[in-house]
């Protein structure tokens, strides 16, 4: 915590030194506070609790292997016609008036009662801060009695530890959790990758479930770094016996990538949205996505990442409304030391500004500023012209935008939208880290000329296809007459021809299904899952032949070739460059390894090269296999 923030705390109403955290003021102190203009807000908040107007909603959690829901996460909303409808607004008011414990208690009761009334099956996941576990009502068994009265066994309850306050005493927390485990409760670490120390929380407390934060899940189908992080988390979870739940799955590409990584469970809008009366079985589209035998093309290294969109860096932060007061903003920053900016949106969920943590705290640190401006709307201190980018822009495009913009955009980051509607924020630091990682990965595994994945990722993907026992097509692409063309026209024209072929292959392939690799020189391979792979290959032949005329002299184009010299200096006529494709169909069990696939594809390519001009040869039989490698 910064010194300025500490000094501000010492002047806050009701501030006291001791173990209590912000938002947890003793009841006696809270009741003795003098009435202020905030009392109307407090009265509205307390009325919601008193009248039991909190609304429980439930979001299903999918078991990938069982094709069913293992349970539901219980979430809370205020009345739809109330300014306290969103949970962020509810908890902001609770923190400001030191009523967090009361709110969490009311949330638990509303969720338990609604879950029991709906007779939902499976496990109920309930959010709770570590501080909440010290609530006498919880510790003394009152909550246990409530569960029993509702016919719910504590073994069906998983307490998600939300780490919005820093944990200092892990030994004490460990003892508290032992008490609850003795009563039958299970535990989950929420939002792995966010917060202060939840990797240590995982290590110390050995929860039954670990939920990966949506920041790492959203865009994982496009982002090699996020992919590797989640794969590492999965490996650790298997070691310690915890089940992974991937949060924030919002589209089929991420859903399939998470499935193919072997993650046990998923949660997000693609699976089901939170609802007061949730479905008890996954939708048909979700089941179809699970059963789809096609494997995802893991985010690789090289040109495939050239299409990585800024969505891969999206981090959702609950936005503010224009009428939110500056005191509320300050308290959110105070409660979340790692929160650097908060966006402001209008009623249409369109971003209108960005509030910087340092700027707000710096202003409040000046004499009388908080007293003067604390109750003023947050738009007073927001940046009304933040950098706003659409989620479909590439990482490189946004990097170029920031490099040409004012320096503060690199520190503040940027707002990410979809069709003008707020989706989240991205940080300049994360953007630079991703660009650097892409460059390093490209240097390690990609062909330097085309930036397409090289031999290591080609072989890895071929092995995944073979292990999945699904049919695929391996197509070997090779340029004809390339060496003499390179000798006559120079290496620059030769490089242009290779790069153009790489671009053509990217154009004709489906990035969700088809893996493109650059073996080396003028040799490429595509491992197709697209059912129309023959048409795609035919299109590649046409695009290549249409490009060749732009690289040769008019007289060579007229005669269909060029003059060069053989090794003895004699003039030799060589036809214009053409493209040969050797293809084979790899049925389940037909090949034992990627070595066999490579050898068979190379043999098919040799057959294609026997034909004049650009051609496609499809090996309908399983050829004799060699030991050559890709």
What CATH number does the domain containing 397 carry? 3.10.580.10
Out of 434, 469, 492, a domain closes at 434
Residues 321 and 346 in one domain: yes
pLDDT at 299: 78
- pLDDT confidence of residue 167: 62
Q: Tell me if residue 243 falls in helix, strand or coil.
A: strand
Please give the full DSSP string across 286-349, using - where no structure is assigned: HHHHHH--PPP----SSHHHHT-BGGGG-B--PPBPTT-BHHHHHHHHHH-TT--EEEEE-TTS
Residue 599 lies in a domain: yes
If you average pLDDT over residues 168-195, what whole number do you get? 78
Residue 35: is its pLDDT beyond 50? no
Domain that holds residue 372: 312-434
Distance CA 151, CA 121 (A): 12
CATH number at residue 501: 3.30.70.270
Q: Is 197 inside a domain boundary? A: yes
pLDDT, residue 10, reads 36
Strands (E), 491-532: 515-520, 523-528
Which residues are paired to 388 by β-bridges? 415
For residue 232, the number of C-alpha atoms closer than 13 Å in the C-beta half-sphere is 10
Asked whether residue 151 falls in the same domain as residue 277, the answer is yes
Q: Which pLDDT score is estimated for 191? A: 67
Q: Do the domain assignments include residue 545? A: yes
- Give me the mean pLDDT over the 206-211 stretch: 90
Burial of 450 (0-12, 13-18, 19+ CB in 10 A): buried
Confidence of residue 137 (pLDDT cuts 50, 70, 90): low
CA 181 to chain centre: 32
Structure tokens at 572: 């030799």
Note the pLDDT of residue 628.
40
User: Do both 374 and 488 map to the same domain?
Assistant: no
Degrees to nearest 5, angle at CA 344 with 341 and 350:
125
The verdict on 73 and 122 lying in the same domain is yes
Least confident of 16-25, 76-85, 470-479, 535-544: 16-25
| 379 and 277 share one domain | no
Instruction: Name the pLDDT band for 6 (thresholds 50, 70, 90).
Output: very low
Give me the pLDDT at residue 490, please: 92
Quick one: pLDDT at residue 166?
Answer: 59
Q: Note the pLDDT of residue 120.
A: 96
Per-position b or e across 90-127, b if 16+ CB within 10 A of its CB: bbbbbbbbbbbbbbbbbbbbbbbbbbbeeebebbbbbb
Rounded Cα gap, residues 116 and 152, in angstroms: 7
Kindly state whether residues 429 and 456 are assigned to the same domain: no
Report the C-alpha gap between 163 and 201 in whole angstroms: 9
Q: 570 lies in a domain? A: yes
pLDDT for 444 equals: 59
For the ranges 29-38, 349-358, 390-399, the lowest mean pLDDT is seen at: 29-38
How would you classify residue 513: left for phi > 0, otherwise alpha for psi between -120 and 50, otherwise beta? Answer: alpha
Same domain, 218 and 340: no
- Whether 350 and 492 map to the same domain: the answer is no
Q: How far is CA 1 from CA 266, 333, 334, 343, 572, in A?
A: 35, 11, 9, 22, 77
For the stretch 67-92, pLDDT in tens is 999 999 999 999 988 888 888 889 88
Strand order, beta sheet including 414-418:
388-390, 414-418, 421-426
Q: What is the rounded average pLDDT of the residues 290-313? A: 73
The answer on 187 and 40 residing in a single domain is yes
For residues 630 and 219, what is the distance between their CA atoms, to the nearest angstrom?
A: 30
> What mean pLDDT do residues 363-379 have?
86
Task: Determine contact, residues 217/246, Cβ cutoff 8 Å.
Answer: yes
Which CATH number is 222's domain given?
3.20.20.450
Q: 611: which 2 tokens? A: 């034909």
Q: Provide the pLDDT confidence category of residue 451 given band limits of 50, 70 and 90.
A: confident
If pLDDT is split at 50, 70 and 90, which confidence band does 383 have? very high
Cα(541)–Cα(531) distance, integer angstroms: 18
Mean predicted lDDT score pLDDT of the chain: 85
384, 412, 434 - which closes a domain: 434
Confidence (pTM): 0.67
When mean pLDDT is compared over 63-77, 231-245, 356-370, 555-569, the highest value belongs to 63-77
Six-digit token string for 200: 């240590």
User: Residue 377, CB half-sphere, CA atoms under 13 Å: how many?
Assistant: 8
Judged by DSSP in three states, 433 sits in: helix
pLDDT for the residue numbered 195? 45
Looking at the DSSP assignment, which residues form a beta bridge with residue 160? Answer: 127, 188
CB 271 within 8 A of CB 255: yes
Q: What H or E segment, with its residue span, contains residue 372?
A: helix 369-373
Q: 342-359 b/e with 16+ CB inside 10 Å = b?
A: bbbbeeeeebbbbbbbeb
**In degrees rounded to 5, what are phi and psi of residue 588?**
-55, 130
Classify residue 625: in a domain, yes or no: no
pLDDT of residue 591: 93
Q: Are 551 and 490 in contact (CB under 8 A)?
A: no
Claim to verify: residue 281 and residue 344 sit in the same structural domain: no
Determine the Cα angle at 449 with ends 522 and 594, to 5°.
Answer: 55
Neighbours of 178 (CB within 10 A): 10
The answer to whether position 440 is within a domain reads no
Tell me which of 381, 408, 434 is where a domain ends.
Answer: 434
pLDDT of residue 163: 60
pLDDT at 327 exceeding the cut of 50: yes
Q: Find the range with the poorest average confidence among 346-355, 389-398, 576-585.
A: 389-398
Percentage of the chain exceeding pLDDT 70 = 86
pLDDT in tens, 478-505: 999 999 999 999 999 999 999 999 999 9
pLDDT tens per residue across span 222-261? 887 788 888 888 888 887 888 999 999 999 999 999 999 9
Q: Residue 486: in which H helix or E strand, if any?
A: helix 482-489
Specify the pLDDT at position 365. 82
How would residue 133 be classed by pLDDT, with cut points 50, 70 and 90?
confident
The answer, yes or no, to whether residue 136 has pLDDT greater than 80, is no
Residue with the larger pLDDT of the pair 124 and 128: 124
pLDDT tens digits along 571-594: 899 999 999 999 999 999 999 999
User: Domain for residue 624, yes or no?
Assistant: no
Distance CA 105, CA 108 (A): 5
Rounded to whole angstroms, the Cα distance separating 276 from 72 reads 11
User: What Rg, from alpha-carbon coordinates, does the chain have?
Assistant: 30
Q: Is residue 350 part of a domain?
A: yes
Percent helix, percent strand, percent coil in the chain, to nearest 5: 45, 20, 35
Task: Return the pLDDT at 540.
Answer: 97
Q: Which residues pair with 478 in a beta bridge?
A: 523, 580
pLDDT at 186: 94
Burial label, 209 (beta-carbon count in 10 A; 0-12, 13-18, 19+) = buried
Number of structural domains in the chain: 3
Residue range 423-427: mean pLDDT, rounded: 92
How many residues make up the chain in this entry? 630
Q: Which helix (H) or strand (E) holds 562?
A: strand 561-565
- On whether both 102 and 25 belong to a single domain, the answer is yes
Residues 534 and 417 in one domain: no
What's the pLDDT score for residue 361? 87
């Amino acid at each position: 915590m910064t010194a300025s923030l500490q000094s501000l705390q010492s002047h806050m109403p009701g501030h006291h030194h001791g173990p209590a955290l912000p938002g947890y003021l003793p009841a006696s102190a809270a009741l003795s506070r003098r009435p202020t203009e905030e009392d109307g807000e407090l009265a509205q908040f307390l009325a919601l609790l008193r009248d039991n107007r909190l609304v429980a909603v439930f979001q299903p959690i999918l078991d990938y292997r069982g094709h069913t829901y293992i349970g539901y996460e219980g979430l809370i909303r205020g009345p739809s016609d109330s300014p306290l409808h969103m949970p962020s607004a509810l908890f902001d008011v609770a923190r400001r008036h030191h009523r967090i414990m009361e709110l969490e208690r009311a949330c638990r009761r509303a969720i338990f009662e609604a879950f029991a009334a709906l007779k939902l099956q499976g496990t109920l996941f309930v959010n709770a801060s570590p501080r909440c576990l010290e609530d006498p009502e919880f510790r003394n068994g009152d909550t246990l009695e409530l569960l029993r009265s509702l016919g719910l066994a504590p073994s069906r309850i998983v307490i998600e530890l939300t780490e919005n306050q820093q944990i200092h005493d892990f030994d004490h927390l460990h003892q508290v959790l032992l008490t609850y485990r003795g009563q039958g409760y299970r535990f989950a670490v929420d939002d792995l990758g966010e917060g202060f120390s939840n990797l240590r929380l995982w290590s110390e407390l050995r929860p039954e479930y670990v939920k990966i934060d949506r920041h790492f899940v959203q865009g994982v189908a496009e982002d090699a770094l996020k992919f590797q992080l989640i794969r590492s988390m999965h490996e650790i979870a298997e070691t310690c016996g915890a089940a992974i739940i991937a949060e924030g799955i919002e589209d089929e590409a991420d859903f399939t990538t998470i499935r193919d990584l072997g993650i046990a469970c998923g949660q997000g809008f693609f699976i089901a949205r939170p609802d007061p009366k949730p479905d008890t079985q996954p939708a048909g589209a979700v089941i179809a996505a699970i059963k789809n035998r096609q494997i995802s093309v893991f985010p690789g290294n090289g040109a495939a990442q050239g299409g990585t969109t800024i969505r891969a860096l999206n981090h959702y932060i609950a936005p503010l409304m224009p009428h939110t007061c500056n005191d509320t903003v300050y308290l959110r920053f105070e409660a979340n030391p790692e929160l650097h900016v908060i966006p402001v949106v209008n009623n249409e969920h369109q971003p209108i500004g960005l509030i910087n943590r340092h700027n707000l705290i710096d202003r409040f640190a000046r004499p009388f500023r908080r007293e003067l401006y604390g109750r003023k709307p947050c738009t007073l201190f927001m940046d009304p012209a933040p950098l706003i980018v659409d989620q479909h822009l590439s990482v490189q495009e946004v990097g170029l935008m920031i490099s040409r913009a004012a320096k503060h955009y690199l520190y503040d980051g940027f707002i990410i939208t979809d069709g003008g509607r707020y989706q989240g924020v991205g940080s300049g630091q994360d953007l630079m880290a991703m660009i650097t990682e892409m460059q390093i990965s490209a240097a390690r595994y990609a062909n330097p000329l085309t930036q397409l994945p090289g031999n290591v990722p080609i072989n890895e993907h071929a092995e995944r296809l073979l292990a999945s026992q699904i049919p695929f097509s391996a197509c070997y692409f090779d340029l004809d007459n390339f060496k003499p063309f390179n000798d006559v026209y120079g290496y620059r024209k030769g490089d242009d021809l290779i790069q153009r072929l790489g671009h053509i292959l990217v154009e004709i392939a489906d990035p969700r299904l088809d893996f493109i690799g650059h073996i080396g020189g003028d040799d490429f391979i595509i491992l197709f899952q697209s059912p129309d792979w023959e048409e795609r290959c035919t299109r590649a032949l046409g695009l290549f032949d249409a490009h060749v005329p732009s690289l040769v002299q008019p007289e060579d184009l007229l005669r269909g070739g060029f003059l060069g010299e053989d090794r003895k200096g004699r003039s030799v006529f060589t036809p214009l460059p053409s493209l040969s494709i050797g293809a084979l169909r790899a049925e389940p069990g037909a090949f034992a390894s990627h070595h066999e696939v490579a050898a068979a594809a190379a043999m098919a390519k040799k057959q294609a090269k026997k034909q004049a001009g650009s051609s496609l040869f499809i090996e309908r039989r399983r050829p004799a296999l060699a030991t050559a490698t890709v």
